[in-house]
């Protein structure tokens, strides 16, 4: 009974994303397949399928589904692509990315979040993810070049070091922090 209610709420969320302009059917189908309730704190289960950001552990937030879908769609991922994600969080976006590409390399700076994300993703039996604890804005990965880079946390600087890790013609997307707290997604 509860699973059927969650599925219906997820279907409603996906329809709202379509209305808001998310047109990539593959991304929408995957978002419908990935149960967001796995990635939210128990206290927020009733809101798991609302199109809102939700608090997670360590005073961090999980992006709203529209932002996740929009950012991922901007990467124009192909099945054989390898993606770098900075800011694993609870693992929701990581899981979605894993269904869209060959491999996801994800970096999280908070160990408690990284451990929880791994547990969340294990529930879905996903195997094409490499996890790393660290600051993805400053630390290097063993992998030299990526087909896309997605940064979840806002930054006031555009990380030139990461731009050098992109294949020619590929994208990095991130929320850029401006004065007085405003943010804007930039590609």
Q: How far is CA 45 from CA 40, 42, 69, 131, 181, in A?
A: 6, 5, 20, 26, 29
DSSP 65-129: HHHHHHHHHHT---TT-EEEEE--TTSHHHHHHHHHSSEEEEEES-HHHHHHHHHHHHTTT---E
**pLDDT-flagged residues of the chain (< 70):** 1-5, 139-142
User: What letter would DSSP give residue 136?
Assistant: T
Copy the structure tokens of residue 121: 């993703």
Residue 5: the pLDDT is: 59
**What is each CA distance from 52 to 40, 124, 127, 157, in whole angstroms?**
12, 23, 28, 26
Catalytic residue, candidates 63, 90, 98, 152: 63
Q: How far apart are CA 144 and CA 162, in angstroms?
A: 10
Tell me which residue of 174, 178, 179 sits closest to 158, measured CA to CA: 174
Is residue 90 part of the annotated active site? The answer reads no
pLDDT number for residue 179: 82
Q: How many residues does the chain have?
A: 187
Neighbours of 88 (CB within 10 A): 28
CA torsion through residues 137, 138, 142, 144, sign: positive
Q: Say what the pLDDT of residue 7 is.
A: 81
Q: What pLDDT shows up at residue 1?
A: 37
């Amino acid at each position: 009974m509860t699973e059927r209610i969650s599925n219906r709420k997820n279907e409603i969320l996906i329809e709202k994303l379509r209305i808001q302009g998310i047109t990539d059917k593959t991304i929408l189908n995957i978002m419908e397949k990935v149960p967001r309730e796995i990635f939210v704190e128990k206290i927020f289960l009733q809101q798991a399928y609302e199109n809102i950001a939700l608090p997670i552990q360590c005073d961090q937030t999980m992006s709203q589904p529209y932002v996740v879908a929009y950012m991922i769609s901007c990467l124009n991922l192909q099945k054989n692509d390898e993606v770098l994600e900075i800011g694993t969080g609870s693992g929701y976006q990581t899981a979605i990315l894993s269904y869209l590409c060959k491999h996801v390399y994800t970096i999280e700076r908070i160990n408690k979040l990284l451990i929880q994300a791994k547990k969340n993703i294990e529930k879905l039996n996903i195997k094409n993810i490499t996890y790393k604890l660290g600051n993805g804005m400053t630390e290097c990965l063993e992998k030299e070049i990526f087909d896309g880079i997605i940064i979840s946390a806002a930054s006031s600087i555009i990380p030139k070091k990461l731009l050098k890790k992109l294949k020619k013609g590929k994208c990095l997307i991130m929320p850029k922090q401006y004065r007085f707290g405003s943010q804007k997604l930039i590609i």
